[in-house]
Amino acid sequence: MMKKLNWLWLSLLVLPFALHAETPIEEGVHYFELIQQQPTTAPDKVEVVELFWYGCPHCDKFEPFVKDWEAKKSDDVAFVRVPATFRPIWEFHARVYYAAELLGVVDKIHEPMFHAIHRDNQRLDSPAAVEAIFTEHGGVSSEQFRKAFNSFSAVTKSRQAKLMVQRYEITGVPAIIVNGKYRVAGVGGFDQMLKTVDYLVAMERAVVKQ
pLDDT of residue 195: 98
Instruction: List the chain residues with pLDDT less than 50.
Output: 4-5, 7-10, 12-20
Q: Cα dist. 138→18, 104, 206 in Å?
A: 48, 9, 39
- How many angstroms from the chain centroid is the CA of residue 73? 13
Is residue 48 within 8 A of residue 77, CB to CB? The reply is yes
Element (H, E) at 109: helix 106-118
Largest interatomic CA distance in the chain: 84
The three-point CA angle 144-148-152 to 5° equals 150
Its pTM surpasses 0.75: yes
Q: Contact 196/31 with Cβ under 8 angstroms?
A: yes
Angle at alpha carbon of residue 87, lines to 142 and 94, rounded to 5°: 35
The whole-angstrom separation of Cα 133 and Cα 112 is 7
CA 189 – CA 73 distance, rounded (Å):
19
Peptide bond into 174 cis (omega under 30): yes
Residue 210's pLDDT is 67
Q: Say how far apart CA 28 and CA 153 lie, in whole Å.
A: 37
Q: Which pLDDT belongs to residue 21?
A: 53
Domain extents in the chain:
28-208
Q: Which of 84, 60, 58 is nearest to 189 (CA)?
A: 58
What's the CATH superfamily of 28-208? Glutaredoxin (3.40.30.10)
- Residues 81 and 181: their CA atoms lie apart, in Å, by 16
